[in-house]
Chain A
């Protein structure tokens, strides 16, 4: 049989897609194997991983299935919430509380016969290198910076120059309201997610003294309730921001404080928005960004046309504005660059202040880091014995801690990130 047939394929099923795959077009790649070769690869051999089965993930899964990818895996650690239903179109009210990955996979397999979707209800960090090596492509529809950094670093680390198969293209999409972006990352070749970390918006952080002493905005009152009052009243009990009772408690406490300070505007919704850091999201933006991501996946998998090099940004607040550009690789990227980051600090700076600086810097943003020099441990988060042993260093001057009085190399690691950052430290 020359044609790729399965039991589910009916006449004309791939009429549209086949027209793209049957003959080269003016913008197809030289390596394009028009006809059965490319169809066979797409429908029988390729294996694609989708990370996230949320707003983007639902769209991505449906698109991939229709374009002819037949072996799709999906990972998501979340369960379905009622607030997902305004855009995550594979879910229904009866699915609330169930695993997103599992429900989405079932829906796709029902709707698009012959497609196998393998769900994993859990964390991307649960999976090892061997797992990720089985895929030809990875598409991310995530709302978390941490998860993106993790998968990006993992895929960069997978690259073995001796083995071209180890290079897994990563397509990353993201949206916020009417804005979104899609990008293609070829690990070690193009700029990676970490290279562009400084493009992210700085998260709003309120100084603790404002929250404690001089609240002015309703947000300050809400932060007071969640950051200070919750642990004071509830001790070790963890706040569950998905539990409406916990939000109601925070709202009541925040509203009380607002009243005391004559501040207007604390509402239940705002409380929920602040503590959960809610990002507005709509189906239409997700659809266009997911379409762009899947289109790139299709082009890369089939070589039917050139793929995005490498960043597409869409802003739909005032008309439709978009910007397509090549984001440049950073030579001192801690993930894909070779060079270390130079950092010049005051001789007076304590280790604690240095850690704050690393957390805050837009291009670094490492939370809860451990620091060491090639010969000495400066501060380690774990195990507890080492944490205790290195804790006194926090209040010492960095210039007195490092072996070389002129500075030198400091390695920064964080449990949540599978890479280390090398800093070339000097003192002013």
Chain B
């Protein structure tokens, strides 16, 4: 469980110099610990459009208004019915009946956070699609819930690819949703993997320091405080030198490989102990695998190099950063012995058994090397002639081992999806696919102004899928799986589905939203749709 981040990065820009935070920082404290001031700023400048004012969309909006979204427009031309008033917490009960849904819901939502701008728009979306196309494209995100397929098709085509359309379909206990984008770049992915300490490819100052310690003669207390990376670098270097003496000069990169070699290496560390209870050596032994876990560029990051070299949009900040990273990985003069195959060193160290003095000393070594490598990186970056500020560079370098570039899909590709792809998914993800298909059928019916009922869903004549599957098979499928929708017109008052979190991830460009896979990967078998079933209580990704 490590999805929080160091608070110094979370609050630096909005924290008061005296220490104690201001009222706004205190109000948002629990989320700033997740997405920091940078994520908060992105959220506060985001504009989103939501269509129409259902129980589901107002719940989604609630979860965006509370954390401080910049602006939302809620579009709905209908008036509140008794059913709406009974089902939507943000309407004012029976008092709202007969008034505009959008206006009543905006009133209820705005009570929660006066830092948010909320506007009710009582126009019909169909009309707006004809008369106000440009305005629709001014939003960062558009959320559409149970909108019929004809309108959706037009809306999706208009918004692609710059405004992210989130399509939510729900019926009773079931729902699916997807986010439409071409590519989504994430620097702060909050991955749980930590960057390499480069034990196997120690930089000169670290190697020199490790080799300079008079292990056998130094003060016994100091000996018990040598941090484990230093012990490992020393042990590995001695192991390599001994091996060279036996088998002649080598690249100097060898590491213990066989089980026997590794066992012997751990014994070597143990033998370096001068007292039986030196915890730092015990820790070194436990961390010995770091000697034979090669420092490499994660494959996902390597794939990005190719993706961005071939892409035409190399003038963006992100592409320039990736390009500089790629050049760095080919030639890093700041690490003379290991010039290629490395990402820039990050200065942060995990905690380890050590005295304060030794720990701070090691931290300084890492920081100094990291600064040198940052200079090399900046040198490469300067060739791109793109102006990037230092904070962005630091953030990028800190996360360079966990960069993510996702690909999404266009609405027409997944409504309901390519025949072959769906056929495959039906055998591997039966429940998810059946739910998705049945929801697509309901959408189709809605476009024909047929109020979906159980009968309609289970008779496939009128659905979007008749050309995908043979009738009998589809009928069986829908009877067995999709009938469990219960009446498809039903909207559970509590259903939010995990939509707001995904919108936040898209807006903040932090954490990883649902996707159709990695942009650099050639695999093309994912639709990028999240399916939720609240009868059996599961979620799945198609």
Contacts and interface: CB of A to CB of B under 8 A. Distances in A.
Contacts of A86: 27-31, 66-68
A83 B501 contact: no
Given A267-B8, A283-B500, A20 B486 contact: yes
B6 A270 contact: yes
A291 B534 contact: yes
B3 A67 contact: no
A322 B487 contact: no
A291 B175 CA distance: 13
A213 B225 CA distance: 12
B493 A287 contact: no
Interface stretch (A190-198, A257-265, A372-380): A257-265
Nearest to A15: B83
B484 interface: yes
B6, B31, B483: residue with the most chain A Cβ atoms closer than 10 Å: B31
Nearest to B3: A177
Contact of B27 (A82, A263, A296): A82
B26 interface: yes
A26 to B, nearest CB: 5
Interface string B500-521: 1110100000011111000000
Given A13-B82, A280-B31, A244 B498 contact: no
A197 to B, nearest CB: 16
Given A83-B27, A86-B27, A261-B360, A178 B19 contact: no
A419 interface: no
A281 B30 contact: yes
Interface string A390-405: 0000000000000000
Contact of A268 (B20, B495, B504, B512): B20
A292 B32 CA distance: 26
Contacts of A321: 539
Contacts of A25: 483-486
Contacts of B3: 176-179, 280, 317
A162 interface: no
A306 interface: yes
A72 B113 CA distance: 27
Given A270-B8, A295-B173, A305-B535, A26 B483 contact: yes
B34 A282 contact: yes
A324 interface: yes
A173 B493 CA distance: 18
B63 interface: yes
A312 B538 contact: yes
Interface string A311-342: 01010111111101000000000000000000
Most B CB within 10 A of own CB, among A87, A179, A290, A318: A318
A214 B87 contact: no
A357 interface: no
A312 B487 CA distance: 25
A292 B30 contact: no
A288 B497 contact: yes
Given A86-B30, A292-B534, A15 B497 contact: no
B487 to A, nearest CB: 4
Contact of A27 (B33, B81, B484): B484
A66 B484 contact: no
B537 A316 contact: no
Contacts of A16: 55, 83, 86-87, 489-493
Interface of B: 1, 3-4, 6-8, 10-11, 15, 19-21, 23, 25-34, 55, 59, 62-64, 66-68, 81-83, 85-89, 92-94, 97, 111-113, 172-173, 189-192, 225, 351-352, 354-356, 359-360, 483-487, 489-502, 504, 511-515, 530, 534-541
Q: 7 shortest A-B CB distances, which residue pairs?
A: A12-B82, A15-B83, A13-B86, A63-B494, A66-B493, A284-B500, A284-B63
26 contacts: A8-B93, A13-B83, A13-B85, A59-B494, A66-B89, A82-B23, A83-B30, A86-B27, A86-B67, A87-B30, A87-B67, A89-B112, A112-B93, A177-B4, A177-B34, A214-B355, A216-B360, A263-B356, A265-B6, A269-B25, A283-B66, A284-B504, A317-B192, A318-B191, A320-B501, A322-B538
